[in-house]
Amino acid sequence: MIGDKILLEARGVTVRYGKTVACDGVSLDLRAGEVLGIVGESGSGKTSLLTSLSGRLRPASGEVLFDVRGQGLADVYALSEPDRRRVRREEWGFVHQNPRDGLRLRISAGGNIVEPLLMCGERRYEPMRGTAIQWLERVELDPARIDQRPSQFSGGMQQRVQIARALAHRPRLVFMDEPTGGLDVSVQARLLDMLRGLVRELDLAVMVVTHDLAVARLLADRLMVMKNGRVVETGLTDQVLDDPQDAYTQLLVSAAM
């Protein structure tokens, strides 16, 4: 269910690397329970935008507002560092394209899943263990493998562990960067199916960056198309994909079909 409440709002976010402009005055809003897809080709500024929106890269100009628990809509970069870290830790989840970026490889799958719980203050072994088992089942992994390290899992399974880790502490907003990149088509399809189920079931707000229009069509309620750091088109997913208005979007859609 998409709520009325705005969870995340960007106003004129510009990200620069030296003279290179990665993101040029991007504005958007995301409501509770909504899945927003950001699509565009490589180098269009999708990931820079996501990094900036998720509090990891201060924009050169513009504001990122988030509905901080107990505080209301607040500028993420105006929060004190410990507060910003707390928001990232407790209210957000991250799914990286490469599971190796999102997982601790020397820690067991179970340990990876309970870490966000520990970060939220849980200090009891048994409840954490129970939650980890539950999550392994939820992402369709064998709970008997709870104490194996990520290196003992296949790429697709590592991605499932990473998704469990990103969701275990019940965040309100999840950032995903190419969650199915680097996986083969059949694994990708099963993972997407599972992800879609979880997003609906947990009523998550998700911001998902992808260059794969199929992923966007399956997951996203709304779509934003980026090119050269600018938003060229935005609208409901089906609307954008079935009846693209912008020349670039038309090109993207026809190239994908």
Partner 1 sequence: MTAQTATRPMLDGYNYAYLDEQTKRMIRRTMLKAIAIPGYQVPFGSREMPIPYGWGTGGMQLTASLIGDSDVFKCIDQGADDTTNAVSIRAFFAKVAGVTTTEDTEAATIIQSRHRKPEHPLREGQIMVYQVPQPDPLRRFEARETETRAMHAYSEYALPYLGLYEGYARLGRASSAAGHPVLTNERYVMTPSPIPSFDNPKLHNSPELQLFGAGREKRIYAVPPYTSVVSLHLEDKPFETQRWGAGCELCGSTDSYLDEVIIDDKGGRMFVCSDTHYCAIRRAERERAGVAPAEGQIP
Provide the binding-site residues for partner 1, judged by CB under 8 A.
Answer: 81-82, 85, 89, 104, 106-108, 110-111, 114-115, 118-119, 123-126, 128-129, 146-147
Helix 109-119 with 81-90: angle, nearest 10 deg: 130
Residue with tokens 């694994």: 187
Name the minimum Å distance from CB 112 to partner 1.
Answer: 9
Choose between 5 and 85: whose C-beta lies nearer to partner 1. Answer: 85
Give the tokens for residue 167: 């969701």
Choose between 11 and 89: whose C-beta lies nearer to partner 1. Answer: 89
DSSP letter at 144 equals G
Choose between 128 and 195: whose C-beta lies nearer to partner 1. Answer: 128
Alpha helices in the chain (DSSP H): 46-53, 81-90, 99-102, 109-119, 125-138, 155-167, 185-202, 213-219, 237-242, 247-256
Nearest CA-CA partner of 37 in 213, 191, 252: 213
Choose between 126 and 201: whose C-beta lies nearer to partner 1. Answer: 126
Q: CA-CA distance, 210 to 55, in Å (whole number)? A: 19
Name the minimum Å distance from CB 7 to partner 1.
Answer: 24
Name the minimum Å distance from CB 147 to partner 1.
Answer: 5
Name the minimum Å distance from CB 113 to partner 1.
Answer: 10
